[in-house]
Each structure stands twice: as structure tokens, then as C-alpha cells.
Structure 1
Amino acid sequence: MTTITISQGRVALDDPHACTDANDILTVFGALFDTLVRRTPDGGYGPSLATEWTVSEDARRYQFRLREGVLFHDGEPCDAKAVRYALLRMARPDMGATLGAPGVYAQYLAGLQVEVLGRYEVALTLAQPIADLFDILAYGHIVSPRAVEAAGDDLARRAVGTGPYRLHAYHPGERIELRANPGHFDGKPTFDGVTWVRGETAASRAEALRTGQVDIANGLPRSALSELPASSFTVQEHLAPTALIMMFNAASGPASDPRVRLALNLAIDRQALVDDVLGGAGQPLHGFVSPAHYGADPDAPPFTQDLAEARRLLAAAGHGDGLTLNLYCPTRLPDEAQALADAVEEQLSPLGVRFKRHIEPDRVHYANQVRLKAIHDVCVFDSSPMSVFRVLHEKIDSRVRGSWWEGYSNPAVERLIDVARGTVSAEAREKLYRQCYRLLQQDPPWLYLYNHRRVIGLRGRHPGWSMRRDGVVDIRALPPL
């Protein structure tokens, strides 16, 4: 029996329709569940439970042909009725809560109509055009209606999908055990079983991999790149697409002036932040999404520190003698938030910019305050969706005023968003998003800081393997270990 053990910092199940970008949860979900479409290595989407589809010219109607004969782990058929149940559950306004923000998916799927056209054919009709609907459907885990209806609050009993592995045991916070689903439509899974265990620290995870207690360890210290021998281990560093930022209060206060926001972006030495705060384990961020995102402009010029121009802009905004910004700061997520605030303030000090700190240890309360637009002048935050459309919708578009919108308005960007919503061609839509990227460099809504670089290790040599671009360990794509 071939089983593998994976060590990561957190071991948890969640509701399959909770909105999360957490790689430690998504790796488990990716083994348990299938979706209509799945991410491909190039960042696009390919077949999964749906084998083919059509999209209307106005990007409002999507019609899918489903695989026939697929069964849930409880033996129930996965047919058009089951797909309809799962998608309508995902679209409920009380679903998709993340860090206190309910209805994340409902803001896209409100008014969704799902028609059963045949046992293996469904049609989705949206209230508004969404050419990037696959960004949402890639997280639309198709669950067994019978299992969910019987589950109550039992997360383990909701974890009944059609994926290549089925849940065997769940010990919250400590251990998740899966067993192979040999009848999966992709063929027999690579492993007979997969187990996730919690490794409390990066060092302990590295030691567990080195001593053979686990086969894969995620979130290793950078020292593992040199300390784990290449003859016995595959150790890779990869870009984490979550953007580390400071969100400005663009509705009131000093940061409501675009000159102030641009000045602070020009005053920052991002590489120095990466070196000083992360010990080099990061990459400077020069736009509203990471370089791994579809729609990021690889040819856009990076920000370079220009204190003279920053001073000029601050003076023009009436802050030639400096200013004090009220900074809202959590104690975790990011865990380096307070050290980051110190380092940013030190870099801004030549301009006379200071922070008055408001520290919040309760991360859920912190997220709720951000959602309620109560961030003082600026707050330490992150932006995690892999979808450029979701970032623009939830954080940038002033007409939507989404969960994480902080008063920013840019009519030129909003016009591009409107065109992109109805542009079915991926190539044409990408060009529109690259225009957004440039505009959001010229008039930044946030202080762009960095992306983390993470380290993962696998037992054995696997030169053909690489981490998926969204930073999630894809159990289906792992090599034999």
C-alpha cells in the first residue's frame, strides 16, 4: 500500500463552499472534490466534471455537458441535479463566509439560474455578464446533496465529493486521512492514501522531512534549499501569489489624495523590505496583483524609489512638513505585520511620515473592521484571490463597494472592468486587465509591498515537478514518491 504523508502549518477542513484562498485547505479540497472546470498548468482552465461547454456572446449564459456515470463517495450519482444543488448552495448569501465576510460568492452569483437540460446537461444564466466565471467555478466544489443535507454542523460529513480521494479520518487541527477512490474518472490515483499532519514550525516540518517522518513538507525555511541534499530531496522555492499591501483609506483623510498614495509608493524600497522583514524570502510587488496573475503586465515598469518626487508630491498635497497616518495593524495574517509596519515607517521617515499604531490581536474582528471600512488612514492587509476580476470587483470598483473596498474610485479602470465583464475572448480580456494594471500603478489604491516566496520539499528527486502557479499543492499532479 503506497501512502504519503504531508506536513503543513495548518490541518483543517472547512465547508466546501466557504470562500478561501488558503493553500492548506485548498490542497485537501482538491483531493476530495471535483469542480466543473479545473485549473491547468498554464493558468487557464480545462475539463473536469464538465467535458465541454459553450459561452454566450454576452457572457451571461454557460451551458455544460457533464461526464456520465460519475458517483459521489457515498454512492449517489453526480448528475445535473446534483450540480444544480451545489451551485445554488454556493450562491446563497449566507455561504462563502471568510474572516467574517459573508456572501463572497453571492456577490457574483446572486440571481443565478441553473437549468437542468438533461440528466448530464446544465445551463447557467447570470444576472450580469461575467466572462471570468471560471475563476468562480474553479472553487465550486460539487458536493453530495444527500451528505450535506444530513451533515448539520459536521464538516467531515460534508466532505463528500467525487474526487480521487475520499475522507477516511479527520482529527481537527492535527490530522486528515484520505483513501483512494479507484473509480475516479482520471484513472486510479497515484497513491492509495494521503495523510496531512500539522507541523508546528517551519523547522519542525523540515526535520520531519529530513528524517523520513513525512514525504512532503510545505512552508519550509529557506535554509532547506541548501541543507536538504539534492540527491535525496526535491526542494523548490516558488512565488506565493498573495499580495502583501497596506490598504489606504481613500474615502477620507490624507490618503484620499492620489498624490499622497503615489508619493508613498515612490518612497518605498521594496527589495529592502523583502531583505529586512522576510530575510530575502519574497519578491517586490509593483502592481495590484502578482506576476503570476493572468492580467498582470510583465512589461509595466517597476516602481523605483524616488524620494525627491515623493517629497514634491507630498508638498503639492499640503504635507511638505510631513504627516502622521493612523495605522491599523493585526498581530497575524500576515504574521510579520508589526515588523513590516516598523520597516515601512523607517523608510518613510525621511519624508516626515509617521505612523500612529492601532494594534488588533483579534484577526476576525480586524477583518470585519476592514470590511466595515473602519481602517483609520491605512491598514496592513493582503489580497489573495488568483482572479484579477475578483480583486477588481471586491476591492477596486467604487460602484460595487465590495467587502474590501476602501473608498477608492477610478472611472477609467471601471470602464475597463465593464468591457472586460462581457469580453469572452481570454486574449482580449487580458489586454484590458493589463491596461488596468498600468492605470493602478499611476493611481495606486494601496501601498504595494511584496509577495512571499515559499519553500516546499519532496522526498526523492523529481526534476519534472513544479508547484502550481496558485501556490496550492495539487495532489493529482504529484509524482510517485
Structure 2
Amino acid sequence: MIRIRPTVRRLVAVAAAGGVLALASCSSSTTPGAPAAGDTFVVATAGEPDTLNPVLNYGVDGASLIFDGLVARDAQNRLVPGLAAELPTVSADGRTVTAKLRDGVVFHDGAALTAADVAFTYRTVLDPKVDSTLRSDLEMLESVEAPDPATVVFRLRHAYAPFLQRLTLGVVPARALSGQDVNKAEFNRKPVGTGPYQVESWTPGDRLVLTANDRYFGGRPTNRRLVVAFVADDNIRAQRMRAGEFDVAELAPKLAAGFDGSAGYRVERVPTADYRGVMLPMGNPVTADPAIRRALNLAVDRAAMVAGVLGGAGEPAYGPVPPTSEYAEPAVTGKPTADPGAATALLDAAGWTPGAGDIRARDGRPARFTLMYPASDSLRKELALAVTADAKKVGIEITPEGLTWDAIDPRLNSDALIMGYGTPYDPDFVSYKLFGSRFAGQGYFNPGHYKSSVVDQALQQGRDQSDPARRKAAYSTFQKQLAADVPWVYLSYLKHTYVLRDTIDGVTPRVEAHEHDVANSLWWNINTWTRR
């Protein structure tokens, strides 16, 4: 069984003292605003990937800094040519997609990129012996061929409207992985790509060091070296940013707000499609009850969470399709503030009556459950506490519990969890696997074992249809059914918050997905950044 984290990477705790020593050589001063030594940038993030192989889910939406796809995304998330000389063409029936490669692209080791490498990459994802979480994303792909060194032809089983968006997948060199067990290959830690940076070293639990690829087809990077520091604890990451160790750090909204007005720093609040919510498992007799789920959905005060927990860096959330999407269904939007009266009336009608300690019960079973969250994530902790307080007001007792991901894993079908996902791209991305019945229990794909034939049919229609109106109708049905069943209580869409030295130029924020650590972060175009 494939198991992935809800952040699609493993969070690794880092000792503060060890990290300080490890990065000391990367900074010429601990004075805020002082540049790092030479042309090195040091960025800090909460988590590190399990692998650096795109076939195994590293940086598949582009901006991985190490690899390139046939297409890329610009600052507005529009598709632009990547390794392809121009955007691939789609046949009239939508089932044949043809890409022509750029001339002169080479991998980090100097070998030329060919269509055979592209074909190998996609065939490897489809290989059942490879533990790729991407295989279901490419179910529509029947074959991929390389009729000549510069041409790639994809043949689809059926038309799939967002297929070009799937071509952001980083291309790997066939010669490096052919004949190997891809799941255990050394390439996964020491990869060779075509991107603006190549891997110098990866110290697990500490940092990833990248050096400039001067042969990059997009132009020689302005920075010679990039250090990505992995610091799981939010507070430690903030302390080390203030100590001058980092040029940029991803921080929780409240911690980032502490840098507002501080000399030598500026704060970037980046809009996202990244939501946080409470996953309610169907294996727990309390959270499986529709009345409990719907009551909790009414009880949570989203406006207060955005103002308090997020410090205003976000907006209320009611479903997995962001309000900025053309596929968003207005009918699922609720009230941002809590409605405890409606919640208690619903619970009364369902037979959940007040009992000892004002905790409701039905047939001797108290309305009580545990809400897990990753202990190192201060934002999820605060959200868990806010949900707990709101639930108590309507007679539902929640016990918040901070755990490691390894401790969370075996409890996914019995205990609720503060989770995060989301994408600004196509609604087929993420939601198909997160809510489809066939994925129930596959790690963090549908971890709560939610099953709905209406949702399954709508999600399948959404990916099978090429007509925009029919796709919109399918995703409308999906969102309405999800809102009725409440397998999740959505809380908020975040703004990702970063603290930067104020001497950095060239930063170009764009709407971000949930996954935004090494790849797709504020530093997606760091190869063009400069210092004053």
C-alpha cells in the first residue's frame, strides 16, 4: 500500500544547535539583513521530501529547481513551454498529444535530453513495480512513444481536459534508471536533472545543498548556490531567522507577523489554494454520525480562526475547490461565524442530548473524540484548539493530541486529524484521490474511508469530460454532495507567509498549492533573484 503524508513529504525534526552549526558556514554574519557568503542563498522550510525523484512524487507540479517538465508555469500559473519548444498540441479528438523538444537541452552531467528520456519517465510512472503515487493521475495514458529524438507522442484512452497540466512532471534520464529498482535507486537521493540547480549534497534531517547549472537552457542562475534548511519546529525556525541564519524562512502567520516593521526584514503573504480542515473518519462511531459532522460544521467559527489563528492571513473555507477557481460552487459557501443554535438544534433532533458535564450522549455513547495534529506544526495546533473550544459550546468534547506522523498513521480511520491539501490548478488534482472510494485507506489518500457513489461518479465525469460546461456541472455535483456529507470540516484557506531579508530583489509570489517546501515555494524562481 502506498502511504504518503498529508503534506506529501515527511516532516523531520531538527535539533536547533546542530542546525546552527551546520549552516554557520553559509552566512557571513548573524546580523539581520546581512547577505550570505558569496552568491549563496539559504532558505528554511518545515519539511523535507522523502525522495528527489519526480517519478516518486518529487516536485511534480513544476518548480522543483532540479528538474524540468515538458511544460512549466509562469508567475500567473499559466502553462508555458518547459523542455518542449512550444506548448504541446492536442488532436481534435483529444486523445493524441504531441510535444517537440527544445534544441540543445542537456542534463547536469552533460548528456543530451532526448524524447526517449521523456517516454521513459512516463512509462516508469505507469510501471506497476514502481511505487509511484502518480500512477492514478495518469490512468488515461495508454502509451507514450518517441518516434524520433525530438518528438514525444502521448496517446490517451479517452480525452482528458487537463492533460497538458500533467506534463509539468520532471523528466529523468533513462540511462540513470534503466534496469534498476527505481524504488531503491541511488538516483532518488543523488539525481541528475535539467533544472537550474544540481544536487551537491543532501544531509537527511538537516539540509539540501544545490549548485548552479551554468548550462541551464533558461539562462545561467544569478546565484551560485542554494541551501535548503529543514527545520520542522516553527518556533525554532523563527528564532534562527531572527538570528540571521536564513535569507528566507517559511513561517506560521503569527510568527511571521512578529517580523512586520523589523529592520532588515520584510514579510510576504502569498495567496494559495491551500486549505486546512478536520478530517472526520468513518471508522469512529461518533465522527461517522452525520449529525455530529454537520453540527461541528455549523459550530466552528471560521471568521474568528482567520482573524486570530491566522492573523488575517487567510479566508474561511467550505470545500476543496478554492473560491478563485472557475469550478467553485457558490452554493456550498456557508457562514464564516459559528451558528451554535443551529448546531444544537440539529444534535437535539438526532437524539444527542446533554449529559454529564454538558457533554452530549446518545444510547450511552458520549459525543467525544480525539483530534490529532502534527506536534511540530504550531498553526495546526492552534486550529485544533479553536475547533475544540467551538465544539465544546454545543456539547461535543474533543481531545486535541499532538503527535508525530508515525504515531498518526495507524490511527487515521479512528481519530480525526487536522489536515491540509489543495491545488490552484485543475479540480481533478488532489480531490480525485482524496475523496474517491477506491482510494479509501491508501495512506493519506481518503484516510477517513469516505465513500459516496455520487461523489465517485462526479469525480470520474469531471476527468473524463472535455467539455468545460459538463466538467463544471460534474464538479458542482461533487462539491454539493461533499457539503451534505461533511467528511471534512473545512476551516480556512491560508496565505503562506515568508520572512525575507529586505535586500533581496526579484521575488515573484504566485498562487501556491499545498505542497510548497523545496518545490513550488516563494523561491520557485530563486535562480533569478539578486541582492542589493
CA shift, 1:78, in A, is 1.2
SS in 1 for 2:87: strand
For residues 373-384 of structure 1, the aligned pairs below 5 Å read: 374-376=413-415, 378-384=416-422
User: Structure 1 pair 317/117, CA: closer, same or farther in 2 (3 Å)?
Assistant: farther
SS in 2 for 1:226: coil
SS in 1 for 2:409: helix
User: Deviation string for 1:229-266 (max 9, x for gaps)?
Assistant: 3xx54421224543222122347734445444222211
Contact 2:57 2:134 in 1 (8 A): no
CA distance in 2, matches of 1:475, 1:196: 12
CA distance in 2, matches of 1:222, 1:160: 35
CA distance in 2, matches of 1:157, 1:311: 53
SS in 2 for 1:394: helix
CA distance in 2, matches of 1:58, 1:352: 56
CA distance in 2, matches of 1:222, 1:398: 39
CA distance in 1, matches of 2:55, 2:406: 15
Residue 328 of structure 2 aligns with an amino acid whose one-letter code is A
User: Structure 1 pair 196/235, CA: closer, same or farther in 2 (3 Å)?
Assistant: same
The RMSD of aligned alpha carbons is 3.7
CA distance in 1, matches of 2:469, 2:60: 27
CA shift, 1:58, in A, is 5.7
What is the percentage of aligned positions where both structures have the same residue?
25
SS in 2 for 1:389: coil
User: Structure 1 pair 228/290, CA: closer, same or farther in 2 (3 Å)?
Assistant: farther
Contact 2:72 2:79 in 1 (8 A): yes
User: Structure 1 pair 285/401, CA: closer, same or farther in 2 (3 Å)?
Assistant: same
Partner of 2:500: 458
User: Structure 1 pair 19/347, CA: closer, same or farther in 2 (3 Å)?
Assistant: farther
CA distance in 1, matches of 2:61, 2:70: 17
SS in 1 for 2:89: strand
CA shift, 1:446, in A, is 0.8
Residue 8 of structure 1 aligns with an amino acid whose one-letter code is T
Residue 317 (structure 1) aligned with residue 350 (structure 2): yes
Contact 2:65 2:197 in 1 (8 A): yes
User: Structure 1 pair 469/165, CA: closer, same or farther in 2 (3 Å)?
Assistant: same
Residue among 113, 116, 121 paired with 2:143:
113
Partner of 1:90: 125
Q: TM-score, normalised by structure 2?
A: 0.74
Partner of 2:26: none
For residues 60-459 of structure 1, the aligned pairs below 5 Å read: 60-93=95-128, 95=130, 103-110=132-139, 112-127=142-157, 129-138=159-168, 140-148=169-177, 153-154=185-186, 158-198=190-230, 202=234, 205=237, 213-219=245-251, 221-229=255-263, 232-250=264-282, 253-275=285-307, 277=309, 282-291=314-323, 295-297=327-329, 301-304=333-336, 305-321=338-354, 322-323=360-361, 324-327=367-370, 329-332=372-375, 334-335=377-378, 337=380, 340-355=383-398, 361-364=403-406, 366-367=408-409, 369-370=411-412, 374-376=413-415, 378-385=416-423, 388-398=427-437, 401=440, 403=442, 404-405=445-446, 406-424=448-466, 429=471, 432-434=474-476, 436-459=478-501
CA shift, 1:355, in A, is 3.1
Contact 2:121 2:171 in 1 (8 A): yes
Residue 119 of structure 1 aligns with an amino acid whose one-letter code is P
SS in 2 for 1:90: helix
Partner of 1:480: 530
Gaps of 5+ in 2: 1-37, 355-359, 362-366
Partner of 2:44: 7
User: Structure 1 pair 168/252, CA: closer, same or farther in 2 (3 Å)?
Assistant: closer
User: Structure 1 pair 366/211, CA: closer, same or farther in 2 (3 Å)?
Assistant: closer
Deviates more, 1:37-46 or 1:409-418: 409-418
Contact 1:52 1:66 in 2 (8 A): no
SS in 2 for 1:117: strand
Q: TM-score, normalised by structure 1?
A: 0.81
